[in-house]
Amino acid sequence: PNVGGNIIIPYPGDTAKFILFHQIGNFSSSFPYMDSPEVFYTVIDMNLNGGLGGVITGQKNLIAFSDTLSWGLAACKHANGRDWWIVGIRDASNTIFKILVTQSGISSVTSQTVNMPVPSYGNAGQPCFSPDGTKFAFKNGLNNPSYHDVRMLSFDRCTGMFDSIGYTVRQNEFGFGLSFSPNSRYLYYSSGGHIYQLDTDAPNI
């Protein structure tokens, strides 16, 4: 498994069902590095097995879409309060994929190229949305010299469109963890030796 490569959401409009989105990894022989060739999904019905739940027949390991993807998926509830956005990032790219999940299942898979520098090494970490759904953060890295960036975008939960907030934090250590505070103001991220707190509402982050 890869970092942040599994995420589960309630099935829109059906309180007994859940959808698990998941990735597998391809390891490079030249470096301990991994990307993902597909995003899979599996539908679970909690009414099966006497209420213990189970995978619906024929609804296991279906391919939502295929590409060369980085580690990790993130989920954000649509502004309508029912549907969901599932997000993944193309590896070594500034392209973000967006799966719209509605009552009928996967409604669409679209992509957006955001206004950020393209990393030469790859995206990684735990891509995540703020609890209020207005911000999205992820990491990427370069290996000459070795460092990683933390980048943040604004997000429109109605349209599913991202916009660059235009800020980058560079560290000379690799790290993976990312998380927003419950009030969506602070972003926490880890490097190899430290945990940092950023005030994302500050005029100059």
Q: What is the residue whose two structure tokens read 């990393």?
A: 119
Confidence of residue 100 (pLDDT cuts 50, 70, 90): very high
Rounded CA gap, 120 and 194, in Å? 24
| pLDDT higher than 50, residue 31 | no
pLDDT of residue 172: 65
Return the pLDDT at 101: 98
What's the confidence (pLDDT) of residue 30? 47
What burial class does residue 108 get, using C-beta atoms within 10 Å of its C-beta: 0-12 exposed, 13-18 middle, 19+ buried? exposed
What's the rounded mean pLDDT across residues 122-147?
77
Return the bridge partners of 59, or none.
none
Single-letter residue type at 133: G
- Average pLDDT score, the chain: 86
If one counts every other C-beta atom within 10 angstroms of the C-beta of residue 174, the result is 17
Q: 13 is written with which tokens? A: 């409009």
CA angle 147, 150, 155 (to 5 degrees): 155
- What value, to the nearest 5°, has the Cα angle with vertex 135 and ends 176 and 122? 35
Classify residue 197 as exposed, middle or buried by CB count within 10 Å of its CB (0-12, 13-18, 19+): exposed
Under the banding of pLDDT at 50, 70 and 90, the label for residue 54 is very high
Mean pLDDT of 119-144: 78
Using DSSP's 3-state secondary structure scheme, residue 49 falls into: helix
Residue 112 scores a pLDDT above 90: yes
Distance CA 46, CA 193 (A): 42
Please state the separation of Cα 186 from the chain's center in Å.
Answer: 18
Tell whether pTM > 0.85: yes
Neighbours of 168 (CB within 10 A): 14
Q: pLDDT at residue 42 above 90? A: yes
Whole-angstrom distance, CA of residue 2 vs CA of residue 6? 8
